[in-house]
Structure formats: C-alpha cells, structure tokens
Amino acid sequence: MDINNLVIENIANPQELERMYRKDPKTFKKSFSQAWEQNPDSQVLGVWYERLHFKEMVKTEKSSLLQKGFLFMGILAILAGISTRIIYHFVEQEAIAPINLAFGIIPFIAAYFVYNNTPKKSIIYSLVALFLISGIYLNMLPLNYKDSIILAYLHLPIFLWVLVGLAYTGNEYAKGSARLSYIKFNLEYFILYASMAVSGMVLAALTMQLFSFVGLDIEDFYFSNVVLFGAAALAIVAAYLVSMNLKLAKNITPYIAKIFSPLVLVTLLVYLITVIWVGKNPFLDRDFLIVFNGILLGVLAVTIFSIIEKDSDKKKSISDYINVALIVLALIIDSVALSAIVFRLSSYGITPNRIAVLGVNILIWANLIWIMISYIRFLQNKSGPSTIQNAVTKYLPVYGLWAAFVIFTFPIIF
C-alpha cells in the first residue's frame, strides 16, 4: 500500500500522520497533495493543508519584504553617499563646519528605520523638524571655533544619536525593551561596520598602490570620490544588515561583553594604582583631568554593554560582580573628576568647557548611582535583571536633553 493510501487510511489518527510527516516530510507533502485532491472536504486534511502551506506563504512574504527593503536601503545608501560628497565639498571650501558631514549619513539611517517600522505621523514630523532645526541652527553659528561653538559641535552627534533612537523605537519609544534593543543595535552595528570598514581600507590601500605602480597618484581623488562615498553608503548598508538579524554581530557581542569587562577592570585598577604611585593630580593637571573623564566614559560604555547583554533569567554569575566592581570604580573616578572640576571652577572661574564637563559628570554620576542601586537589589534577590536594564534605558533621554541644552544655549550664553 502506498503512502497516499496511508494518509487517507490514517486520516482519523493525528499521531500517525505526524509520525509519517516527521519521518519523510518531502514524500509526505508530495503524496498529501494527491490525498487533498481526492478529499477536498476533509477538515483534518484542511488543517494539514494550512500547516504545510503556511510556511511557504510566510517565506514568500518575507522574500517580498526583503526585496522591497533592500531596494529602499540601496536608494538611501546612494543618497547618503552623494549628500556626504556634496557636504564635503563645502567643508573643503571652509563654507561650513566639518560636523555637517553627520547630516549626510545620520538622517538617512533614521529614514530607513522610519520606513522599516513606520511610526505615527507625530513622531515623523518631530524627527523631520528636529533634524532641520539642528542643521539650520548649527550653520547659523559663526565659524570662529570658540569653546562654546566647539562644544555645540561635539554634542551634536549625541543629540542626533537620540533622534535615531526615536526613529528606531518608533511608537514604542517609551518602552524599556525598545530602548534596550536600540542599545544592542548600536553595539552590533559598530562591530559590523568596523569589520566592513577594515575590508574597505584594505581595498583602498591596494587600489592606490596598484595605481602608484603606473605612476598615478590618485589618493586625493580616491578619498574624496570613492572612500567618502563608500563610508557613507556603508553606514546605511550596515544598519540594514543588523536590522535583518545578521547572525555574525549577534553571536559576537555577548562574548565581547564578557571578555572586555574583566580586562577593563584589571587594566583600570593597575592604571589607577600607577597614577597614585607617580603622583598625577587631576586637580592641577588639566590634560590629565581630560584623560580621567575619557576613562570614565569608557568604563560607563563597557558597563552598559555588559548589562544589556545579560540574559533575561534571574541567575547571578561572576559577570554581575565584575559589573558591580566596574560601576564602583566608575563612581570613584567620577567623584574625583567632579571634585577636580569644582576645584577648577572655584579657583580659575567659569568657562563653557568647565560647565559642560561638570554637567556631563553630574549626569553620569546620577546614572551610575541608579545602576548600582539596581544591581545591589538584584544581587540581594529583591528584583530581576530588568530593573538594572531599566536604569540604563530610562536614563538615555537625559543625555539627549543635555546635548540639546549645550547645542542650543551655550553659543548664546557664552
């Protein structure tokens, strides 16, 4: 008796039909179509028909969406490359500040996210308005590179990063899970973009070397018209690949977080002991204070990425204690930096740089305290890991608001 007859014979035996399907799905599907033609009114076969064809329908739908998303991504990548090249031309003419190059890339990444996950119109209008306002305002500032204007330039990427986060999270911008996903996206994006950028640099070096063999120096032309265009377009491509759940970056990031946390902790402990030993003083040495704040930002970044890569279960591990140690170390560094900044303000007076650094250190100190309290509660089994992640995600808009404050008020006040 052939399998077609077995399908019909076991039409009232779901367990046997399932066994037959799992044993040889390909043969089962082929023979099932014959059984379905002979018994189109059978409810059991009707259920199997929907089951067997549902995957194919989903696959076709995904393929269609993939082609559509890929095409839009390609258009945005080309537009980003062209826009960046045009902006670079005006930067070369010293008509606008170099920071404008960010507007050749970041708005297009935001546009891809809006297309990929269309939010309500109020969010779209807000994004367009904020991008336009920040771009117009920044280019109304004089190109004299005062401290207040440089600070505005330095804080612009943070502000635009928050805007991209709004585009990424869409209608779920208030949810901690959406913000957490955005932070994870950033880590995966950085890894993927860096990997592709290294390959691009190797190709660029090889190309220029090949042309040099025939006596042509194409370095300036190649950088302005190929490297710059490619770097901008690649930014959109990387965003597309990460959003399409590329497994390369997703598989690497948890290991990077676990490896870097203890390495950073040991390195910083050795460094701080050495600093104390040689007698470096952040209260008097301005350059060392800048380095100190750079270390603080690095520790904060490593800590945040370690937290977001934490599993959603409630199990504690050695990584949690390393993270707590990093947070305590960051708080010590931040407290020393805050004391040094206050000392310099009282001794040497108010400047835009000192106020900006003071504001950032206060914000980071408050964020670290929140994270540490959440972590202690987790280690005491009083809460789950979500409270720690909330301490990270709910604070993100504060950094964006501070960046906006510096951008739009410092050039006016100072």
Q: 364 with 300: CB under 8 angstroms? A: yes
pTM of the model: 0.76
Which tokens hold the place of 82?
A: 């062209």
| Alpha carbon 58 to chain centroid, angstroms | 28
**Could you tell me if 304 and 342 lie in one domain?**
yes
Q: How far apart are CA 156 and CA 138, in angstroms?
A: 9
Domain contains 226: yes
**Could you tell me if 204 and 272 lie in one domain?**
no
Domain contains 287: yes
**Could you tell me if 292 and 393 lie in one domain?**
yes
Answer with the residue of higher pLDDT: 360 or 308: 360
**Could you tell me if 78 and 226 lie in one domain?**
yes
Return the exposure string of 14-31: e unless at least 16 CB atoms fall within 10 Å of the residue's CB, then b: eeebeebbeeeeeebeeb
**Could you tell me if 161 and 226 lie in one domain?**
yes
Residues 6+ apart with CB under 8 A from 241: 192
Report the pLDDT value the prediction gives residue 247, as an integer from 0 to 100. 57
Which tokens hold the place of 385?
A: 């890991």
**Could you tell me if 182 and 96 lie in one domain?**
yes
Count of positions (residues) in the chain: 414
Which tokens hold the place of 178?
A: 């959406």
| Alpha carbon 253 to chain centroid, angstroms | 12
Q: How far is CA 103 from CA 83, 97, 131, 240, in A?
A: 8, 11, 8, 18
End position of a domain, from candidates 245, 266, 281: 245
Which tokens hold the place of 120?
A: 């309500």
Domain contains 51: no
Q: How far apart are CA 265 and CA 364, in angstroms?
A: 18
Q: How far apart are CA 143 and CA 96, in angstroms?
A: 7
Domains in the chain, number: 3
Q: What angle do CA 249, 115, 154 make, to 5 degrees?
A: 65
Domain contains 194: yes
Report the pLDDT value the prediction gives residue 211, as an integer from 0 to 100. 82
Return the exposure string of 144-174: e unless at least 16 CB atoms fall within 10 Å of the residue's CB, then b: eeeebbbbbbebbebbbbbbbbbbbbbeebe
Which tokens hold the place of 50?
A: 């929907």
Domain contains 152: yes
Report residue 114's pLDDT band, with 50, 70 and 90 as the boundaries.
Answer: very high
Report the pLDDT value the prediction gives residue 139, as an integer from 0 to 100. 92
Domain contains 322: yes
Highest mean pLDDT among 121-130, 138-147, 211-220, 379-388: 121-130
Residues 209-232 have pLDDT tens digits of: 888 877 788 888 888 888 899 999
Average pLDDT over every residue of 300-309: 76
Query: Shortest CA distance to 101 belongs to which of 269, 229, 209, 245?
Result: 229
Residues 172-209 have pLDDT tens digits of: 888 888 888 898 888 889 888 988 888 888 888 888 88
**Could you tell me if 200 and 112 lie in one domain?**
yes
**Could you tell me if 167 and 77 lie in one domain?**
yes
Q: How far apart are CA 226 and CA 204, in angstroms?
A: 9
**Could you tell me if 201 and 338 lie in one domain?**
no
Q: Which residue range is the domain that position 379 belongs to?
A: 256-414
Domain contains 123: yes
Query: Shortest CA distance to 406 belongs to which of 134, 183, 173?
Result: 134
Answer with the residue of higher pLDDT: 18 or 288: 18
One-letter amino acid for residue 111 of the chain: A
End position of a domain, from candidates 215, 245, 275: 245
Domain contains 47: no
**Could you tell me if 227 and 119 lie in one domain?**
yes
Residues 334-362 have pLDDT tens digits of: 888 888 888 888 888 888 988 998 999 89
Q: How far apart are CA 95 and CA 139, in angstroms?
A: 9
**Could you tell me if 354 and 262 lie in one domain?**
yes
**Could you tell me if 270 and 366 lie in one domain?**
yes
End position of a domain, from candidates 190, 224, 245: 245
